[in-house]
Structure 1
Amino acid sequence: MMTPQKPLGSGFGAATTADEVIAGIDLSGKTAIVTGGYSGLGRETARVLRAAGARVIVPARDMHRAREALVGIDVEIAPMDLLDPASIDAFAASFLESTPVLHMLINSAAIMAVPELTRDPRGYEYQFATNHLGHFQLTMRLLSALRNAGGARVVSVSSIGHRYSPVVFDDPNFERRQYTPWAGYGQSKTANILFAVALDQREKAHGIRAFSLHPGAIADTGLGKHIPREQLIAAGVLDEQGKPVRDPARHLKTIGQGAATQVWCATSPQLNGLGGVYCENVDVAAVMAQQPEKMDMADAMRLTGVVPYAIDPAFADELWGLSERLLNF
């Protein structure tokens, strides 16, 4: 039976911080992997999990940058590039050789709104390859350790950007359709949600529960580096001086507030026995009654909830099959 996609009444809200979510939770003896864990929300998530007692491993494409960013946070850093299948396999093999159990996998790394159509060496569109396929491969390679935990969670950091596009199954790599930065990003974020739906259904019998979430729009993480400043000002993400606007009711959050939902998904006892749901503002999100035909960034900030196509079990199964084919699994 699938977990209903409706709010639980968690008692938290849009302004809740990751430190508030983790209060009273002891993660001693637990192991977590946090992709993107050396910048923005991933770094805050790694910090909070480590402070609660977990052993935290941060895979990093840029080891030097990761070491500098994580000074003062007692985490482990290991090389891995989500666009390099051999690198993912090597990271997973090294982890499994020394650690047979993984309790939390937080897939937080992402790229957003890449201006021009860019492909990886396999010919796959960059955002779909990084945000979804890389994390799909990593999760599958670590599956045995997640099963061994007897109660693991896999958390996929998605976005309200999923509203920009479903997964276009007959052309995910923009070979026959026009590329736009938001179509590429939206497709990859929808894939994050569908992956959580499919993974949860396949693995809950083995004790693995999966969640996806929208963290908020956090202007000072660097994720929006490809978005023109004028567009961010027009959307109300930045003020006229170019400074981040803080308004949690419109998803405009601090880094601490932005990391709260993924930390909640990874650790909260409120979610015991649940899974496969999309969350926002530290609760399970509602389903959107109607998706606007056209939507700009300012519109997205005013909306809450998940679009039905992103939690459709049939689409989730179709994405799973597509992912296996693209990765030659």
Structure 2
Amino acid sequence: MTRHEETPVMTTAQQPLPSGFGAASTARDVVEGVDLTGRVAVVTGGYSGIGLETSRVLRAAGARVVVPARDPERARAALKGLDGVEVERMDLIDPVSVDAFAARFLASGRPLHILVNSAGIMATPLTRDARGHEAQFATNHLGHFRLTARLWPALVAAHGARVVAVSSRGIRFSPVVFDDLHFERRPYEPFLAYGQSKTANALFAVELDRRGRAHGVRAFAVHPGTIVDTGLAKHVSAEALRAAGAVDDEGRVVIDPARQLKTVQQGAATGVWCATSPRLDGLGGVYCENCDISPLVAPETQADWYATAELPGVLPYAVDPEAAARLWAVSEELTA
């Protein structure tokens, strides 16, 4: 991806539309009436959790869906019966694998209309990739940064593409700590690393949209909600899930969309809405939740926002254009 010319651009206000949908809306609700025939989508993590539901719904709306997977056999088993969904090998933490997948896609000559960067890991023990990068940052951010850059020609060729970066309310745990991205000097805390990677996802959408809008490429970051039964929380203790109200005392999953505790179908909704909604034509570079653009969390409401999941909103540091530009430059260096 080449550096975008420094031309004045309008940014989308971080302000609800409103969309007409809400926290309880499902992915099928938001795509109703949208025809994706002839469109091509790539969905990372598209064979489990909200990624699988995203693949199903985009395909049902007519899109051809490509699912890159570290474990292609597992992916094919999960996607069995979904005609029009392709599985390709790719491991986000391995640059050679990302490049090979992108090269195969570009060789097919197809434009890429929708890229949903949904795959991710959460709160893992300290692990580093082959380059020494902390694994959550390397997987959740750098892998998707590299993938998007390599697929750039196909996104431009779509003449109207959308990129969806799956972020999280986990942004609350940490901004991007530029002077120690990989926990080389500070103590490693799994949720600090997760929060940093999710803030990076949100900032990535801000800068990608700035660079891409002149080429018809728009980007969005989304908070899908808390969806416990996807496998993402496998490193989180049962005690922590109970304390968060995500499961009850018997270990049963709690569903309460008003508190961001959602089903997989509800969790996939905001990403699908960002990928397909005509209401977002001409918009981009914003963080979304509950199938709408999120408001900024004001200083006077931050304490309440941190204390409850019922208040929507995005912290200013997660959509700060200066931090987004800095992260982009650092990411280019790290991915070479």
Per the TM superposition, whether the score is higher than 0.5 is yes
SS in 1 for 2:178: coil
Q: State the Cα distance separating 1:241 from its structure 2 match.
A: 1.2
Q: Does the Cα contact within 8 Å between 2:305 and 2:311 map onto a contact in 1?
A: no
- After superposition, residues 44-123 of structure 1 pair within 5 angstroms as 44-74=53-83, 75-114=85-124, 116-123=125-132
For 1:57 and 1:178, the matched residues in 2 are separated by 39
RMSD: 1.3
Q: State the Cα distance separating 1:300 from its structure 2 match.
A: 5.5
Q: List gaps (5 residues or longer) in structure 2.
A: 1-9
Q: Does the Cα contact within 8 Å between 1:160 and 1:300 map onto a contact in 2?
A: no
SS in 2 for 1:175: coil
Q: Name the amino acid aligned to 2:313.
A: G
For 1:304 and 1:237, the matched residues in 2 are separated by 17
The number of residue pairs the alignment matches comes to 325
Q: Name the amino acid aligned to 2:123.
A: A
Aligned to 1:322: 330
SS in 1 for 2:220: strand
For 2:335 and 2:224, the matched residues in 1 are separated by 28
For 2:199 and 2:47, the matched residues in 1 are separated by 24
Q: Does the Cα contact within 8 Å between 1:211 and 1:276 map onto a contact in 2?
A: yes
Aligned to 2:196: 187
For 2:278 and 2:96, the matched residues in 1 are separated by 36
Q: Name the amino acid aligned to 1:113.
A: A
**Match among 178, 186, 203 for residue 212 of structure 2:** 203
Aligned to 1:22: 31
Q: Name the amino acid aligned to 1:32.
A: A
Aligned to 1:306: 314
- Regions of 4+ moved over 6 Å: 293-296
Q: Does the Cα contact within 8 Å between 2:297 and 2:305 map onto a contact in 1?
A: no
Q: Name the amino acid aligned to 1:311.
A: V
TM-score normalised according to structure 2 size: 0.95
CA displacement, residues 199-234 of structure 1 (integer Å, 9 cap, x when unaligned): 000110000000001000011111111000011011
1:32 lines up with 2:41 in the alignment:
yes
Q: List gaps (5 residues or longer) in structure 1.
A: none
For 1:156 and 1:320, the matched residues in 2 are separated by 14
Q: Name the amino acid aligned to 1:76.
A: E
Question: What percent of counterpart residues are identical?
Answer: 64
Q: State the Cα distance separating 1:159 from its structure 2 match.
A: 0.2
Q: Name the amino acid aligned to 2:183.
A: F
Q: State the Cα distance separating 1:294 from its structure 2 match.
A: 11
SS in 2 for 1:27: coil
Q: State the Cα distance separating 1:293 from its structure 2 match.
A: 7.2
For 2:68 and 2:239, the matched residues in 1 are separated by 33
TM-score normalised according to structure 1 size: 0.97
